[in-house]
A and B are shown apart, each in its own frame.
Chain A
Amino acid sequence: MAEITLSGITKDYGSARALDNVTMTVPDGSFVVLLGPTGAGKTTLLRMVSGLDQPTSGEILIGGAPVTARTPAERNVAMVFQQYSLYPHLTVRENLAFPLKSPLLRTPKDEITRKVQLVADALQIAHKLDNKATALSGGEMQRVSIGRALVREPAAFLMDEPLSSLDAKLRSDLRVELKSIQSNRGATFLYVTHDQIEAMTMATHVGVLDHGRLVQFGTPRQIYEDPVSVYAASRLGQPRINILPADLFAGAPWDAKHIGLRPEQIRQGEGEESIVTRIERLGDQTRLHLSYRDHDIITVTDPHTDLSHGDVLKIRPENPFYFDATGARTH
């Protein structure tokens, strides 16, 4: 396992800039999640680290050694693709053994058998080992795909939305499974997703990407509690953070243009009056839709609340975030 360092990575596709001067360190043994919507440059960044694409400028180090000029094989990283990555002409067993048989590893036969069985058991695909890769369900295919990375002991694991095509149940099972594999092995993971639950539950660090720029890097808690911008604040938290004009409430600093309120930053029962427009009962959580001076606010309340449509509820901001006109955090 090794540390990955990216310094000043820029990637242009023609005139379009996919990555803009990204500098980041993935510490040894950490689980770093790259978060951002489609087109933010998450996958491109992963491909730079894997060696499938070359950066226009910048340098990549794995375990302290510069690898920018090396082939993917020489970098010794394992990668799980979002789709289409199982070799369709091979069986599940052959797929899992494929990286072990490479000229890079040249694993002895009995060692291959042992490792394949171990991984197949961990991912609950042992009974499908002799099936053709194409004769599997989507969830099984993705587990084999993850298994093909796990049979190796690479410098780092790169994962490109590996769970996005799975159903909710399998996704939450594999989330736990991946996290425990990572912490048991002390492995370095660089993981791309747009799913904030995956980021919150698995990451030791989160990198927030916005149009090719790394706008914030820190622990999930840091990003949740101390976001640098409206964009970063909107990545995490359900329901989403409320962004409102700063002058809606008294006490805003002079340079603030917007106020950001997460549910826990809205004190209920005191302050200004708002009207309840809707109540969503999700079971574990009850969401309150409020109308305050023609602005909609979504917050969370007691699951057994007796509030109903049309009621008046007093609210007051508590330690809110303030942002300037460009969306950058000021207070």
Chain B
Amino acid sequence: MSYSITDPSPRTKWFAGTLVILYALITLMPLLWIITTGFKSQSEAIAYPPSVLFEPTLEGYVNLFTTQTRVSEADLAANPPETFAEEIAASKGMIIVGPSRFGERFLNSVIIGFGSTFLSVVLGTLAAYAFSRYRVPLKDDLMFFILSTRMMPPIAVAIPIFLMFRTLGLSDTHLGMILLYTAVNLSLSVWLLKGFIDEIPREYEEAALIDGYTRFQAFYKVVLPQAATGIASTAIFCLIFSWNEYAFAVLLTSGNAQTAPPFIPTIIGVGGQDWPAVAAGATIFLVPVMVFTILLRKHLLRGITFGAVRK
């Protein structure tokens, strides 16, 4: 694929390059800020003007993952620090009494985020295939209905959902959150995937039917591999939504199924907000989506520009 008819002049290249780097700096700035804050000490994190060069410390990460308590000099001397983390705590006159809840909140995020993404993509692919290939009565109306579920912000129905979840016993459960995020993501996934599947010529499946395969085998062996790009990019969009979702998570979860987004801001340090710990939490929170996106990135570009380029 070639996008330009002639090679751009060196000046154009230089200008375009500068622009891209500038833009990248601007968009990456907050990210850089969060990552560096995670490695600062409490005092440096709130220093004004902000310190650019500082001595990195893992204090934020230790605070994020542990629960600590302040003890007297005598007790501190009686329990000499053994591990690296305990040393950091001891330097502030604290000892570690156990792990924090960040680990389990993060695990909740993983279970709910990936669980709902998996479900949205599976259901979305099957529905999109049916809409694309079969004569479905009222097809256009149904597709519009599916789209219309996204025409208001999901949080607008927070109260009915809250009541529904309480009645059904889904409040603060993993299953409840997975179902909720799946319901929100499904319209996006059906519409996106229908577009991708529409682009796959029917002749491929028909050839497979003639070659001795059943309809489902033809779908599995011929359509799915061709739809891989669409499925991957749909999965990224679904994961980004359910991973980052904050409002429903605050409203519907409190302990058992709470995800990382509502938990991170509640990290309170001793004597004020523990900004390095919050930043450390945010940094770790960024990693899974980043890894997932990088793994699927070759599909993502085509997912975003899909429809714009003729094969």
Contacts and interface: CB of A to CB of B under 8 A. Distances in A.
A104 B208 CA distance: 12
B207 A81 contact: yes
A85 B212 CA distance: 15
B213 A79 contact: no
A260 to B, nearest CB: 39
Interface centre among A50, A73, A76, A103 (most CB of B within 10 A): A73
B203 A81 contact: yes
Contacts of B206: 52, 72, 79, 81, 85
A99 B201 contact: no
A98 interface: yes
Q: Chain B interface residue count: which class?
A: 10 to 19
A245 interface: no
B141 interface: no
B51 interface: no
A23 interface: no
A79 B212 contact: no
B273 interface: no
Given A89-B225, A89-B226, A84 B204 contact: yes
Contacts of B214: 71, 73, 103
A329 interface: no
A77 B210 contact: yes
Contact of A79 (B207, B217, B222): B207
Interface residues of A, number: 24
A243 B171 CA distance: 83
Contacts, number: 61
A71 B209 contact: yes
Contacts of B226: 88-89
A34 to B, nearest CB: 18
- A contact face: mostly helix, strand, loop, or mixed: loop
B204 A79 contact: no
A148 B203 contact: no
Interface centre among B204, B212, B222 (most CB of A within 10 A): B212
A87 B204 contact: yes
Contacts of B55: none
B212 A102 contact: yes
Contact of B210 (A50, A89, A103, A105): A50
Contact of B203 (A72, A76, A83, A89): A83
B212 A103 contact: yes
B73 interface: no
A78 interface: yes
26 contacts: A50-B210, A51-B209, A52-B210, A73-B211, A77-B210, A78-B211, A81-B203, A81-B206, A81-B207, A83-B203, A84-B204, A85-B203, A85-B206, A87-B207, A87-B208, A87-B222, A88-B204, A98-B208, A98-B211, A99-B210, A102-B211, A102-B212, A102-B213, A104-B212, A105-B212, A148-B207
Interface of B: 201, 203-204, 206-214, 217, 222, 225-226
Given A85-B206, A87-B208, A148-B207, 12 more contacts: A71-B214, A73-B211, A81-B207, A84-B203, A85-B203, A85-B204, A87-B207, A89-B225, A99-B210, A102-B212, A102-B213, A103-B214
Interface of A: 50-52, 71-73, 76-79, 81, 83-85, 87-89, 98-99, 102-105, 148
